[in-house]
Structure 1
Amino acid sequence: MSTKPTIETGRQRGFTIIEVVITIVVSSIIAIGIVNYIGDSVEGFAASGNRNKLASSGRTVVDRIALELHNAVPNSIRVTTAQPGGDQCLEFMPFTGASSYRDAPFTGSGDDTFEAVDFNPTLTYTSPAEVYAVIYPISTEALYEFDNPGPMALIDELEDTGGADGVVTVRLDATHRFTRRSPVDRFYVARSPVSFCLVGDRLFRYQDYGMQEIQCTPSTPSCLEATAPDRILISDSLDNSGRTAFNVLEPTLRRNAIIAMDLSFTSEGDVVNLKHEVLMRNVP
């Protein structure tokens, strides 16, 4: 008896429409999450890099101002009132050397020459020197009034003949009488004032504009220069609206004067606020 072989056939099944749709939806959700994660990471990295750049440039600006303030003649610092937009100026007189005077003129009609102890390192100026001799500047107002008698006189020449006498000769531009003796016989050789001014979103440094009894601002006619080299751009990424960039905290019996700086640097929507205090040498 013969038998007929049987062939078993199975029915093959694929994905249903619902399964395909669910797979596409789930895959899309996962893909969107991954893309958003990568995008946020890239955006965060870029923002972090931009903030680091702002902080670095801001710190450079603050350190430069602080460094120059450390070489300011005592009690020569003054500031203008901060404007609503943040515009404000900080002014001071930098000194290039300090020594002890020997016979500075304090009586009578004064004199145009006096001797001082040698500077270390050596400091000399030929005529016209265009620097100032400052003795015991205890008043900011008196310093910038530049009167005779007063705490400051224009130097014409600072001569060191060498030798073993250990003295330099200070020749003034005109006869002058200093108002007060320094308790330690100290005098400073100072340069013309400089100003740091915040104008809109830019910070400028001004120099070589001479002595001014009333503090200058960029809007003062015929005072601060509007072009290089007497105006130098320090930073162009500030927004100090509603802030006081420079504030002078007067000295007390327990501490020296303090210059408080508050600068806001901004770029591409990122903001970095820097606050810094500089302890001044205000012992004349």
Structure 2
Amino acid sequence: SSWGDEETTMSAPNDGYAHSAVAEGDDVHLVYLHDWPEKIQYNKRTYGTGWGTEVTIQADAVDYMAPVLSIDTASGDLYCFWAGSPEANKIYYKKQVSESWDADPTLWLDETSDGFPYGWYNFLTCVYQAYNNKIGLLYTTKTASPYNVKFDFLQLAAQPPTMPVLVSPENNHSTYDNTPTFTWTAGGDATSHRLVIDNDSTFSDGDNIYDNANLGATATTCTIEDELPPDNYWWKVAAVANSTENWSENTWTFEITA
């Protein structure tokens, strides 16, 4: 393989250092400091299509603070960090969800007491992508030597697990087996699974015939030990993480025959 043709990715960049990029699959997200008027711009290169239209993340930026970009790969959300706008000596960020940036910046860190160095020393550096629902940021404070190098991390909201998918017994199945085995595909990012069975299709009485909330993070099967009497039953499975249950999209029914 070889390098492709050079592409124009940004208009009026402020010096060669004032940009940051992350990849999402074959796509590229880019933020940079636009030169006069200073503003933080965003653009995305979609594989097979090319660069899109520039979007202003923050107007009235300062000319000595380059933005940095990170991505939460679990959700696909982007986080752009910068300092000095709208107020000096403070670090802000905006989040992009479903290709839409926050309207207003969020104030994260206040370094009014130390201040930031002016000019080439005044850089932020963040981790390329979130890890364990955290994004780390490294930055410099103080206006004269000796400077301080500080680290902090932004705690992200934990993502719920994805839904498990029921496999068997299939919907409307009939069987003589009164200790059936239930199988499903595990929910992504789950820490455990929960299987419930009841003869009430709405599970509304709160007293399930079978309720096992101790199935493992990657569990995909469970055989019940106590015999079920002949009847019609309904079953479903939840993926569990961070005190959140994400139930299977469907509730299936089966019949135990005499």
TM over 0.5: no
Normalising by the residue count of structure 2, what TM-score does the alignment of the two structures yield? 0.25
Q: So what's the TM-score if we normalise by structure 1?
A: 0.23
| Higher RCO structure (Cα 8 Å, ≥6 apart) | 1
Query: Higher Cα Rg: structure 1 or 2?
Result: 1
Larger relative strand fraction: 2
